[in-house]
C-alpha cells in the first residue's frame, strides 16, 4: 500500500503532466487505456496551448517536478543520438538555466551558514545569479583580498522535495520487484538506493568542496584539466566558495570555432580525462554534462565545475571493467563472456559459448560501421537487450560509470563527430595493464607492504600462543556450512600462507643486513659484500615477490 503522502506526490506528478499538455503520455499507459475517454473531461483538452512545441512542454514539466526530474533531463540532453533534435535542444537548457530562486534568499542562507553579514564576508556580492541548477545556484562575488570567486548556495527546502521523490521511487521500485518479471535482473531497489546515495551526497556542499580538492590534487600539474580552488574558511554545508574560472561553455560551438579551439583535440582529451580518472585515480567526476564543463581557448584545455557527484569503483570492479573494455576493443567476445561469468554479472550456470554468440551478434554489425556512425549508447542498449535472455543483473555500482561514459561520448561527438571512442581509450587501458601487471607492479606492492609485514613480526609469537591456546580449549571448532564462510576460510588460509612467506623473506633480508654490518666478516666476497649476504638477500627478495604474487 502506497503511503498517502507518496500517493499525493504521484497524483501531483500526473497533474503537472496534464497541465503541460502531456496528458497523452498518461493516457497512453497500459493502466489508463480503458478510461481514455476521461481526457474529454480534462480542461487542458479544450484550452491546451497548441503553440508550445513538445520539447518546451517536456522541459517545463521537468522543471516543475523538481531536482530529480531535472537531473534526469540533464542526463538525456547529452544523448542527442537517442533523442529527436527539438527535444534535445530544449533539455539542454536544463544544464544551467533552471529558474532561479530570489537572490535575497541566497543572501540569507549565506549569512545564516557563515554567521556574518555578506558585506563583511565579501567586498562585492551580486544577488543576480550567474547560473541556476536543480540543486543550487551560483552568485558572483569578490573577496576583500581582491580575488574573484563564485558562491554556490543550496536551494531552500530542496532536501524535503528530494526525500519525497526518492521515497516515491522506492515505492515504485518495490512494486516493480513484486509484479515485474524482469525486476530480479534489473534490481530496481538497489538502483534507487545507489541513486539516493549519489543525490544525498550532492546536498552537502562541504563534501562537494572535498571532491573538488581531491580532483585538483590529482590534476595539479595537468595540461588538459583545471579544477578551481576551494576557500575552506567560507565553506559550509549549504554554501561553498570557490575560485571563479573564465572559459567558454563547451556547448557554445560557434564561439569555440571562432576562438580557434582544436575541437578534435578537445574531444580526445575528454576521453583521456575520463579514463585517467577511472583507471589511474579511481575517482571520477560523474556529472559531466555541458553545463559543468568549460574550455580555455588558450590551450584547448578543460575546466570543470560542480563536483557534487563523483564516482569510484571497488578494485574488483575496476579490474573486471578494464578487462571487459579491452576485450571489447579487441573484439575478443569469448573473453567478454568469460568475464561476465567470473564476475557473476550473469548467473554462474550461464553457458559461455551461448553468451559469446549473443555478444558477437550485437557487436559485429556495429563495429563494421564507419566511426562516425558507431554509438556506444546504442551498443549498450543492444547489449542490455541481448543480456535479458541470460538473466544478467544490473550492477548498481557501475551505473555512475556507464552514465558518465555516455555523457563523455555525447560531448565528444558534439565536438568531433568522427570521434573514435575505442581507439582513443585503448592506449589508456593498455598502459593501465602495464602498471598493474609485471615486475614494476610487483616491486611497487613489495615496497608498499614491506613495512606492514615487518611491523607484524614481533606479534607472531603472541599470536601463535593464542592460536595454540584456543586449539587446546576447543575454541577453533567451527562448522563451515555456507559459501560465505568457505570463502572466508580460504581467504584466511591464503593470508596465512602469504604472511608466512613474507615473514620468511623479511627474516632473510634482515639476516643479510646483519651480516653486512658485521666488521671483518668476509670469508667469501662478491663485490664489496659477503657471498652469504647476497644469497640471503636474494632468497628474501624471492620470498617477498612470492608473497605479493599470492594476491
pLDDT tens column, 88-146: 777 777 765 678 899 999 999 999 999 999 999 999 999 999 988 778 899 999 999 99
What are the phi and psi torsion angles at 469 (to 5°)? -65, -45
Residues tagged active-site? 287
Distance, CA of 63 to CA of 132 (rounded, Å): 12
Per-residue confidence band for 529, with pLDDT thresholds at 50, 70 and 90: very low
Per-residue confidence band for 475, with pLDDT thresholds at 50, 70 and 90: low
Q: Is the pLDDT of residue 521 over 50?
A: no
Q: Is 0.85 surpassed by the pTM of this model?
A: no
pLDDT of residue 528: 46
- The percentage of residues in the chain with a pLDDT greater than 90, rounded to a whole number, is 19
Q: What is the DSSP letter of 138?
A: E
Q: Is the pLDDT of residue 68 over 80?
A: no
Name beta bridge partners: 131.
138
pLDDT of residue 331: 83
- The answer to whether residues 86 and 50 touch, using CB atoms and an 8 Å cutoff, is no
Per-residue confidence band for 403, with pLDDT thresholds at 50, 70 and 90: confident
For residues 26-38, one letter each, b for 16 or more C-beta atoms within 10 angstroms of the residue's C-beta and e for the rest, the string is: bbeeeeeeeeeee
Where do the domains of the chain lie?
A: 4-87, 160-198, 250-437, 439-549
pLDDT of residue 453: 62
Which of 203-212, 319-328, 408-417, 496-505 has the least mean pLDDT?
496-505
Distance, CA of 10 to CA of 431 (rounded, Å): 49
Pairing of strands 248-249, 293-296: antiparallel
Per-residue confidence band for 359, with pLDDT thresholds at 50, 70 and 90: confident
Q: Is the pLDDT of residue 201 over 90?
A: no
Give me the chain's average pLDDT, please: 75
Distance, CA of 71 to CA of 200 (rounded, Å): 13
What the block records as the C-alpha cell of 309 is 557527484
pLDDT of residue 550: 47
Residue of higher predicted confidence among 142 and 405:
142
Highest mean pLDDT among 246-255, 346-355, 462-471: 246-255
pLDDT of residue 126: 95
- The answer to whether residues 192 and 173 touch, using CB atoms and an 8 Å cutoff, is yes
- The answer to whether residues 234 and 153 touch, using CB atoms and an 8 Å cutoff, is no
Amino acid at each position: 500500500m502506497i503511503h498517502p503522502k507518496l500517493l499525493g506526490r504521484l497524483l501531483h506528478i500526473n497533474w503537472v503532466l496534464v497541465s503541460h499538455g502531456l496528458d497523452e503520455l498518461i493516457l497512453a499507459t497500459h493502466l489508463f487505456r480503458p478510461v481514455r475517454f476521461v481526457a474529454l473531461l480534462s480542461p487542458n483538452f479544450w484550452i491546451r496551448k497548441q503553440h508550445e512545441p513538445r520539447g518546451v512542454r517536456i522541459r517545463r514539466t521537468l522543471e516543475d517536478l523538481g531536482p530529480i526530474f531535472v537531473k534526469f533531463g540533464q542526463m538525456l540532453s547529452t544523448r542527442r543520438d537517442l533523442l529527436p533534435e527539438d527535444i534535445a535542444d530544449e533539455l539542454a537548457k536544463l544544464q544551467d538555466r533552471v529558474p532561479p530562486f530570489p537572490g535575497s534568499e541566497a543572501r540569507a542562507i549565506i549569512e545564516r551558514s557563515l554567521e556574518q553579514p555578506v558585506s563583511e564576508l565579501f567586498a562585492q556580492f551580486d544577488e543576480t545569479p550567474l547560473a541556476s541548477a536543480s540543486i543550487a545556484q551560483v552568485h558572483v562575488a569578490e573577496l576583500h583580498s581582491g580575488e574573484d570567486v563564485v558562491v554556490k548556495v543550496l536551494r531552500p527546502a530542496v532536501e524535503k522535495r528530494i526525500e519525497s521523490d526518492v521515497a516515491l521511487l522506492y515505492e515504485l521500485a518495490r512494486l516493480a520487484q513484486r509484479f515485474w518479471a524482469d525486476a530480479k535482473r534489473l534490481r530496481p531497489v538497489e538502483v534507487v538506493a545507489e541513486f539516493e546515495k549519489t543525490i544525498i551526497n550532492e546536498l552537502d556542499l562541504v563534501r562537494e568542496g572535498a571532491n573538488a580538492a581531491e580532483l585538483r590534487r590529482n590534476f595539479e600539474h595537468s595540461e588538459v584539466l583545471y579544477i578551481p580552488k576551494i576557500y575552506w574558511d567560507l565553506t559550509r554545508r549549504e554554501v561553498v566558495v570557490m575560485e571563479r574560472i573564465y572559459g567558454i561553455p563547451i556547448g557554445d560551438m560557434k564561439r569555440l570555432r571562432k576562438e580557434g579551439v582544436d575541437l578534435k583535440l578537445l574531444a580526445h582529451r575528454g576521453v583521456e580525462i575520463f579514463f585517467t580518472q577511472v583507471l589511474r585515480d579511481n575517482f571520477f567526476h560523474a556529472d559531466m554534462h555541458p553545463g559543468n564543463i568549460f574550455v580555455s581557448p588558450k590551450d584547448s584545455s578543460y575546466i570543470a565545475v560542480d563536483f557534487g557527484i563523483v564516482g569510484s569503483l571497488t578494485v574488483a570492479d575496476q579490474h573486471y571493467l578494464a578487462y571487459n573494455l579491452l576485450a571489447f576493443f579487441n573484439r575478443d567476445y569469448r573473453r567478454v563472456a568469460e568475464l561476465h561469468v567470473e564476475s557473476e554479472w550473469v548467473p554462474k550456470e550461464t553457458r559461455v559459448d551461448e553468451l559469446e554468440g549473443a555478444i558477437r551478434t550485437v557487436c559485429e554489425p556495429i563495429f563494421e560501421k564507419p566511426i562516425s556512425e558507431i554509438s556506444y549508447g546504442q551498443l549498450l542498449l543492444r547489449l542490455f537487450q541481448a543480456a535479458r535472455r541470460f538473466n544478467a543483473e544490473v550492477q548498481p555500482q557501475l551505473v555512475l560509470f556507464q552514465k558518465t561514459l555516455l555523457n563523455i561520448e555525447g560531448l565528444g561527438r558534439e565536438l568531433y563527430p568522427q570521434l573514435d571512442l575505442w581507439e582513443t581509450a585503448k592506449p589508456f587501458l593498455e598502459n593501465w595493464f602495464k602498471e598493474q601487471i609485471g615486475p614494476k607492479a610487483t616491486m611497487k606492492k613489495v615496497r608498499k607492504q614491506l613495512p606492514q609485514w615487518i611491523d607484524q613480526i614481533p606479534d607472531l609469537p603472541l599470536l601463535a600462543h593464542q592460536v595454540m591456546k584456543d586449539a587446546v580449549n576447543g575454541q577453533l571448532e567451527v562448522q563451515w556450512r555456507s559459501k560465505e564462510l568457505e570463502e572466508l576460510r580460504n581467504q584466511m588460509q591464503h593470508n596465512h600462507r602469504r604472511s608466512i612467506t613474507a615473514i620468511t623473506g623479511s627474516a632473510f633480508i634482515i639476516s643479510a643486513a646483519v651480516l653486512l654490518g658485521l666488521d671483518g666478516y668476509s670469508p667469501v666476497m662478491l663485490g664489496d659484500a659477503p657471498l652469504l649476504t647476497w644469497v640471503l638477500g636474494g632468497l628474501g627478495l624471492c620470498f617477498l615477490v612470492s608473497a605479493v604474487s599470492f594476491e
